[in-house]
Amino acid sequence: MRSLRSRLSALWLMLAMSGAATAYLLLESFQQSSEARVARAQDLVVRSCRDIADRYQFFVTGWSGSASIDDRLRQDLLPVIRSALAGAPGVEGGIWQAASGSLAYGYPTYEGTGPKTDLPAAELGVIEQVNAEARRSGRPATIRNDGRSQSLIVHACPLRGPLQDVTAWTMTRAATAEGPAYTHLLIGLIVLALTLLGSAIWLAWILVSWSRRIAAIETALGGATGTADLPHLPQTGARELDRLVDAVNDAGHRLSAERRRAAAAERLAAVGRLSANLAHEIRNPIAAMRLKAENALASSDPARKSSALEAILQQVARLDALLRDLLATTQAVQPTPRNVELEGFLRSTIDAHRELAAHHALALRSVCSSPRAACFDPSQLQRALDNLILNAIQNTPAGGEIVVAAEIHGGRLLFRVTDSGPGVDAGIRDRLFEPFVSTRADGTGLGLAIVREIARAHQGEARLGQTHHGNSFEISLPWQPS
């Protein structure tokens, strides 16, 4: 699935490609419009030259004067040029003779302060050249000089009449890199460049801003690895992300409430399931005490009565321990965390069981892979480990080994009690931590239930770990360094 970053990057790439294509089309359009302007200018000078030729032909029709060139003839030819070029804006021209040069010149559409009567000195060589070419070939000739900002177009066509070696010429200039079209092109390219640059900066800001906000959300969510509740996420300042943050926070509140209700319901359900087992566990000691009391009353032997009283006291102690453990599973555990040095905590925990382990011919040792201190309730965790160690001692045959370990794994504090016993029967694995579930005939089945409640009170869990031989019970807690 594509990320938001890749989508925005693709959008920016599309904008860049679109901008490049648009710039190319603008340049091509400008080039084509420049060529079109030059072509129109060329058509205009050709048509204007023909107009001069037509009016000159009309002027020399019925000619009876002298073929010599004088001032009067030059003055008579001026109206011919002016009338022919009056409808051709930007075109200047005249009549040229090889021997005499310019016979007449006119620029009727000149936009200066007065009429222009002098030949353009800068273009005089080109004018002479194009007229010579038209006279020599007897056909119209055109010379085009392309400059940086404009093209100069000079056209000449031969004239027929009484005057020898006479040609008409026209000239104009077509802007190629200046003028309104060029200004529009520059404006378009500048706007396009600013748009692309602004889009790039805008998208980059969106990418960085959203990346930071999403990273902040990830950090907030990642900081709650060890708890079952969702953390409260801070507002990001982005409306869309804040709607998601509000939804997550609301879901977290509902999840916490549901988890508390589920835990309470689970305790109540556990108490309900315990009722039948509890009645059975209480009935047996009561029946034994009743039998002992009846036998003592029926006998006159003081020793027998004393033995019966001792048996009754043992059953009372058994009932007291049963009720104490039962209350421990039903009452909410409130841990008091403090800084605990792990290695010393493990050593003191197993020292209390070394004598019993030695009595059962078992080896008992501790392994601490992390010398650091952690934060938890040591009295409650010691009680949970005591239950697991006692279970291991009672279920491990002589000559076996029990290992109590602590380590930091995957950002969590893990306590593990491993033995070399026969393992847990597959039929009760799923119910192993429920009250009154036990593999021993003399067991109450409350020890592992207490372990589970203590783990849950620390926002952790108790579970049966994976092992090839024996049993491995684990208590996994959130890692809270001191």
Please tell me the predicted confidence (pLDDT) of residue 335.
Answer: 83
Q: Are 292 and 280 in contact (CB under 8 A)?
A: no
Q: In the structure, what pLDDT confidence band is assigned to residue 328 with cuts at 50, 70 and 90?
A: low
Half-sphere exposure of 214 (CA within 13 A, CB side): 10
Q: Are 218 and 224 in contact (CB under 8 A)?
A: no
Crossing angle of the two packed helices 4-60 and 71-85, in degrees rounded to 10? 140
Spatial separation of the C-alpha atoms in residues 16 and 4, rounded to whole Å: 18
Spatial separation of the C-alpha atoms in residues 345 and 477, rounded to whole Å: 16
Q: Are 421 and 360 in contact (CB under 8 A)?
A: no
Q: Does pLDDT of 326 surpass 70?
A: no
Residue 318 or 212, more confident: 212
| CB neighbour class for 363 (10 Å; exposed up to 12, middle 13-18, buried from 19) | middle
Distance of CA 422 to the CA centre of its chain: 52
Q: Does pLDDT of 231 surpass 80?
A: no
Q: In the structure, what pLDDT confidence band is assigned to residue 198 with cuts at 50, 70 and 90?
A: confident
∠ Cα 13 16 17 (to 5°): 85
Which residue pairs, CB below 8 angstroms and at least 24 apart, start in 59-68? Answer: 60/161, 60/162, 60/163, 63/161, 63/162, 67/162, 67/163, 67/164
Distance of CA 187 to the CA centre of its chain: 36
Q: Does pLDDT of 1 surpass 60?
A: no
- Give the CA radius of gyration of the chain: 55
Please tell me the predicted confidence (pLDDT) of residue 159.
Answer: 92
- C-alpha distances out from residue 355 to 85, 253, 350, 361, 471, Å: 129, 49, 10, 10, 21
Please tell me the predicted confidence (pLDDT) of residue 88.
Answer: 92
Using a pLDDT cut of 70, give the percent of the chain over it: 79
Tokens read off for 99: 């021997």
| CB neighbour class for 449 (10 Å; exposed up to 12, middle 13-18, buried from 19) | buried
Please tell me the predicted confidence (pLDDT) of residue 422.
Answer: 79
Please tell me the predicted confidence (pLDDT) of residue 44.
Answer: 93
The model scores a pTM over 0.75: no
Closest CA to 404 of 432, 375, 381: 381
Taking residues 155-167, report their average pLDDT. Answer: 91
∠ Cα 345 347 351 (to 5°): 120
Taking residues 102-127, report their average pLDDT. Answer: 89
Q: Does pLDDT of 435 surpass 70?
A: no
Residue 418 or 12, more confident: 418
Q: 3-state DSSP call for residue 387?
A: helix
Place of tokens 């060329």: 42
pLDDT, one tens digit per residue, over 366-394 is 888 776 788 888 888 888 888 888 888 88
Residues in the chain: 482
User: Domains of the chain by range and CATH?
Assistant: 4-181 (3.30.450), 334-478 (3.30.565.10)
Residue 312 or 110, more confident: 110
For the chain, the average pLDDT equals 80
Q: 3-state DSSP call for residue 405?
A: strand
Three-state secondary structure readout of 61-101: CCCCCCCCCCHHHHHHHHHHHHHHHCCCCCCEEEEEECCCE
Closest CA to 396 of 330, 474, 469, 463: 469
Taking residues 277-296, report their average pLDDT. Answer: 70
Spatial separation of the C-alpha atoms in residues 207 and 449, rounded to whole Å: 51
Taking residues 248-259, report their average pLDDT. Answer: 80
Please tell me the predicted confidence (pLDDT) of residue 279.
Answer: 64
Taking residues 129-156, report their average pLDDT. Answer: 91
